[in-house]
Structure 1
């Protein structure tokens, strides 16, 4: 009975697979948004200012970072929680695939969120007159919360890894 129960629990990981397919759908939506933004950007070339060029480029970078974040979550989440991908021999397989554990995934997620937040903040600074001082203050505060959260997550991982290293050294010595 216990063995059957455990096999059922283990098989339940496949309930995550449709979620990763859903994230692929979100990636398609981001691609559409990227293409629409690129077309809008390209059509503005005849009257574009330097600031508009930078803002347009930042919008495209922002969308590509969000897409990269989705790919990291899809690949590493699927491999960590559902099943290994049998693509070791594929020439285009990313070097990091199969090596991103849950801890590394958390750090990559937070780093990506900080980068995306920073780009949004930079876009605001490029057009600072369009925003109230209160809104800018809140955006800076939120960005700092992301940065501090990232640093604290990295510190917790470092402490955890350091403790594991010390524990292994104590057992060996």
Structure 2
């Protein structure tokens, strides 16, 4: 009975596979929005100001970072929780693929969120007159929360890894 339960629970990881397929399909949404944003940018080219150009490029970078974040979640999540991807021989396989554990995934996610938040904040600062001071204050506070959360997550991982290293060193000395 126990073996059947454990095999069933282990097999339940495959219920995550459709979620990762759905995330992969959501890349199409980001691609569509990217194309629309690029089309809009090209459309205003004859009358474009420096601010328009910078804001437009920042929007494209923002979408690119979101798509990168999505790929990291799809690849790492699938490999950590569902199954290994047998692509080690593929010439285009990213170097980090298969080496990002759950801890690394958390740090990459937070770093991407901080980068996206920072770009969004830069876009706000480029057109600060459109926003109320209260809105800007909240955006800065939220960005700082992301930054502090990232630093604390990194510190917790460092402490945990450092503790494991010390424990191994003490075990090998004994």
Q: Normalising by structure 2, what TM-score? A: 0.99
Alignment of 1:11-90 (within 5 A): 11-90=11-90
Q: Size of the alignment, in residue pairs?
A: 173
Alignment of 1:52-131 (within 5 A): 52-131=52-131
Unaligned runs of 5+ residues in structure 2 are none
Match of 1:134 in 2: 134
Alpha-carbon shift at residue 25 of structure 1 (Å): 1.6
User: How far, CA to CA, are the matches of 2:10 and 2:31 in structure 1?
Assistant: 34
Point out 4+ residue stretches in structure 1 off by more than 4 angstroms: none
- Alignment deviations for residues 146-170 of structure 1 (CA, whole Å, 9 cap, x no partner): 0000000000000000000000001
Alpha-carbon shift at residue 26 of structure 1 (Å): 1.2
Alpha-carbon shift at residue 99 of structure 1 (Å): 0.1
Unaligned runs of 5+ residues in structure 1 are none
Report the RMSD for the aligned CA atoms in angstroms. 0.4
Q: Normalising by structure 1, what TM-score? A: 0.99
Match of 2:3 in 1: 3
Alpha-carbon shift at residue 127 of structure 1 (Å): 0.2
